[in-house]
């Protein structure tokens, strides 16, 4: 459903925003960003399972059926058979002690010794999405804006155009850095879920080490993280592009507008129609998944 359009009411809300001159993100780029993240998170889940298998081997935990390859299917089969054999041979106590040690080791390796940088090719993919969104944004903003607003934006002098380019470059850099930080945080959450599953089994609060269920949940979580991340980041990036454009065009005052549907938060609905200095916007402008927009109401003529 392209992320946003869950109902006729929501669709109508975005149509209303567009009529007010507030362009929507390109859904194709939003979907591409989600796809990039989804692939990375899924690769991460497989790598975490490989790490766990290796630690089991070091601790001599039921490795008879350990697969030579590390495909997801073979790893799931191995952990399933491992859990069954532990029960059959009544070796749970020894295994729990060993798994407790393993969980401590993984917690240190996965969470305390995280890589500080994401691969350059991956960062480039994310930046390319923002770059394409930015390149098309001004055209969509002018195309959706009313005649007066379009005129303001199109009246850039040479100096203003340079200011605009500098602003947009700064915005993109900021959002790329923010994206990288959030991706690292979400990867940590996936790791924590797997570690907690091992700890629960090692401490006896769980009778089975149901890694198949965990991986399923991890994959579903990865898909959800990717989708929500892409939606939120593209919305925020568009809003930041709007503010940068308005500042470059010497807009001084803007009006807050909402999608005017049932999903608008009460605090945001209370701001609807209010006018703010473009350099002093309410904190809600940075809220997660905010779909509200800004339209110019006052600007300098020079």
Render pLDDT for 130-168 as a digit per residue (tens, 0 to 9): 898 888 887 888 787 777 777 777 777 667 677 777 878
What's the sign of the alpha-carbon dihedral 58, 103, 218, 76? positive
> What is the tens place of the pLDDT at every residue in 13-56?
667 777 777 777 777 888 898 899 888 888 888 888 788 778 87
> What is the tens place of the pLDDT at every residue in 60-81?
665 444 455 667 677 767 766 7
The kind and range of the H/E element at 85 are helix 72-88
Query: Does the pLDDT at position 2 exceed 60?
Result: no
Q: Where are the alpha helices (DSSP H) in 203-291?
A: 211-248, 266-269
User: DSSP label at 109?
Assistant: I
More confident of the two residues 293 and 89: 293
Confidence category of residue 276, pLDDT binned at 50, 70, 90 = very high
- Summary mean pLDDT of the chain: 78
**Structure token pair of residue 289:** 């998944």
| Structural domain boundaries in the chain | 8-299
Confidence category of residue 170, pLDDT binned at 50, 70, 90 = confident
Angle 72-88/211-248 helices, nearest 10 degrees? 140
Q: Tell me the percentage of the chain whose pLDDT exceeds 70.
A: 76
Q: Where are the alpha helices (DSSP H) in 89-210?
A: 92-107, 120-144, 147-154, 158-202
Neighbours of 55 (CB within 10 A): 19
| pLDDT the model gives residue 301 | 64
Whether residue 260 contacts residue 15, with contact meaning beta carbons closer than 8 Å, is answered with no
| Angle at CA of residue 73, ends 69 and 74, nearest 5° | 40
Best CA proximity match to 187, nearest among 149, 216, 218? 218
Q: In this structure, are strands 251-257 and 293-299 parallel, antiparallel, or unpaired?
A: antiparallel
């Amino acid at each position: 459903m392209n992320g946003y359009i869950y109902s006729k009411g929501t669709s109508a809300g975005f149509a209303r925003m567009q009529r007010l001159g507030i362009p929507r993100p390109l859904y194709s780029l939003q979907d591409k960003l989600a796809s990039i993240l989804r692939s990375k998170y899924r690769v991460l889940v497989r790598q975490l399972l490989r790490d766990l298998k290796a630690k089991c081997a070091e601790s001599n935990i039921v490795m008879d059926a350990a697969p030579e390859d590390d495909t997801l299917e073979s790893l799931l089969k191995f952990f399933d058979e491992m859990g069954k054999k532990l029960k059959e041979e009544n070796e749970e106590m020894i295994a729990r002690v060993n798994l407790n040690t393993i969980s401590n080791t993984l917690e240190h390796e996965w969470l305390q010794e995280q890589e500080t940088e994401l691969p350059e090719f991956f960062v480039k993919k994310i930046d390319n999405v923002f770059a394409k969104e930015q390149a098309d944004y001004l055209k969509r903003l002018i195309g959706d804006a009313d005649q007066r607003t379009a005129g303001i934006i199109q009246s850039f002098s040479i100096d203003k155009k340079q200011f605009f380019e500098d602003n947009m470059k700064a915005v993109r850099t900021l959002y790329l850095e923010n994206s990288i930080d959030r991706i690292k945080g979400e990867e940590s959450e996936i790791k924590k879920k797997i570690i907690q599953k091992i700890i629960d089994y090692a401490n006896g609060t769980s009778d089975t080490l149901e890694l198949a269920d965990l991986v399923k949940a991890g994959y579903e979580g990865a898909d959800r993280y990717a989708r929500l991340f892409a939606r939120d980041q593209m919305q925020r990036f568009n809003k930041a592009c709007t503010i940068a454009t308005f500042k470059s065009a010497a807009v001084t005052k803007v009006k807050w507008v909402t999608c005017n549907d049932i999903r608008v938060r009460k605090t945001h609905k209370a701001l609807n129609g209010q006018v703010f200095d473009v350099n002093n916007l309410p904190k809600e402008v940075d809220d997660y998944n905010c779909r509200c927009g800004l339209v110019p109401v006052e600007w300098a003529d020079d």
